[in-house]
Amino acid sequence: MKRLNIDLKIGFESLNISARDIVTTQFLGNYKSVFRGRGLEFDSYRQYYQDDDASSIDWKASARANTLLVKQYVEERNLNVFFLIDVSNTMILSSQPKLKCEYAAEIVSSLSYTILRSGDNVGYALFNDKIVNYAPPVKGLNVHQQLIDVLTQSSNYGGEYNLSKAITFAAENLSKGTIVIIVSDFIGTIDSDSFRLLADKFSVLGMMVRDPIDRSIPEGMGQLAVADPFSNDTMLVDPNILKPYYEEEVKKNEEYVRSLFMENGSDFIILQTDSDFIGKIIELFRMRQMKWR
Q: Round to whole Å and give the CA distance between 254 and 269.
A: 10
Q: How many domains does the chain have?
A: 2
More confident residue, 51 or 78: 78
Q: Is residue 221 assigned to a domain?
A: yes
Where does the pLDDT of residue 27 fall: very low under 50, low under 70, confident under 90, or very high at 90 and above? Answer: low
| pLDDT over 80 at 104, yes or no | yes
2 in a structural domain: no
pLDDT tens-digit readout, 225-243: 777 766 778 888 787 888 8
Q: Return d(Cα 197, Cα 10) in angstroms, integer.
A: 35
- In this prediction, residue 113 carries a pLDDT of 86
Nearest CA-CA partner of 23 in 104, 102, 106, 118: 118
Do 94 and 64 have their domain in common?
Answer: no
Which residue type occupies 164?
S
Positive or negative, the CA dihedral 139, 91, 288, 34 is negative
- Based on the domain organization, do 49 and 155 belong to the same domain? no
**Does 210 or 189 have the greater pLDDT score?**
210
Residues 44 and 150 both lie in one domain: no
Are 45 and 101 members of one domain?
Answer: no
Question: How much of the chain exceeds pLDDT 90, in percent?
Answer: 48
Select from 28, 49, 75 the last residue of a domain: 75
Q: Is the domain of 67 the same as that of 148?
A: no
Considering the domain architecture, whether residues 171 and 69 belong to the same structural domain is answered as no
Is the pLDDT confidence value at 156 over 90?
yes
Domain hosting 154: range is 8-16+78-291
> pTM score, two decimals?
0.77
Confirm whether 31 is domain-assigned.
Answer: no
Residue 133 lies in a domain: yes
pLDDT in tens, 56-88: 788 988 898 899 998 776 555 678 999 999 999
Expressed in angstroms, the distance from the first to the final Cα of the chain is 49
In a domain, 3, yes or no: no
Q: Span 136-164, mean pLDDT?
A: 94
Residue 21, in any domain of the structure: no
Q: Specify whether 181 is located in the same domain as 90.
A: yes
Give the pLDDT confidence score for residue 15 in this predicted structure: 42
